[in-house]
Each structure stands twice: as structure tokens, then as C-alpha cells.
A = this chain, B = another copy of it.
Amino acid sequence: MSEKAINFKDKFSKFSEHWTPKVIAEMNDYQFKLVKVEGEFVWHDHPDTDEVFIVIEGELIIEFRDGQVTIKAGEMYVVPKGKEHKPVANQECEILIVEPKGVVNTGDSGGDLTAQNDVWI
């Protein structure tokens, strides 16, 4: 029985909208989600969990109240739980997020950019 790996580029080719995470895999109670982003997201935090960003293509800036980090393709960063952050991408950027199942993209901040959760692709 031959199993099939999950190909990031193949999955990214299946959608075009921004700021809407798509689940591609689960590991225990964690999910791996692909997101295309462009422009500025909202300030928010996740009070109960760290959040991992891995950039697949492009460049993501995560602003903090006291600084920022630039994450390029082939790089990752862990935003500590409870730390306010605002993702920004000056051009379209493709990212892989790892976090516990159930985490909402805008944290407790809500708003128009709040995406439906647990959407698989």
C-alpha cells in the first residue's frame, strides 16, 4: 500500500484567498495549516498557546509592540503565547502555521478577518 505525502505547492494551488487558513494535516491535537497572506492583519494574541510560522514562499513580517521579526522562505519563528502580534506581508506570502486544533486566527480580537476554523483542503 503506497501512501502519499502532502505537497505544500500542490495544496497552495487549490486556493487563492488571503488570511484563510486551510488545514492539511493533524498531529495529535495539533493542526498544520497553509495560509496565503498579503497586506496587514489585525493585532491579536493567543493567550493559551504558542504559534509557529514557517514561510514557504515570500517574506512575512510579524510586528510586536516592542519590535518585529522578518521571516523568509526556509525560516520559522515561534510567537510565544499571550504575545500580541500583527502579521504583515508587503507582497503575497505563503506560510505554514502549526498550532493546537481550535485556535482562531484572530485570537480574541475578532473582526472581518476572522476565518472559519477547521477548513481542510
Contact = CB atoms under 8 A, between A and B. Distances in A.
Interface in A1-52: 1-9, 24-28, 30, 32, 49-52
A69 interface: yes
B3 A98 contact: no
Given A66-B1, A67-B1, A27 B6 contact: no
B25 A52 contact: yes
A104 interface: no
A27 B96 CA distance: 14
A3 B64 CA distance: 10
A35 to B, nearest CB: 15
Contacts of A98: 27, 98
Contact of A74 (B7, B32, B76): B7
Nearest to A53: B5
10 contacts: A5-B55, A5-B69, A5-B70, A5-B76, A7-B72, A7-B74, A25-B52, A28-B81, A28-B100, A56-B74
Given A27-B50, A52-B25, A98-B98, A7 B68 contact: no
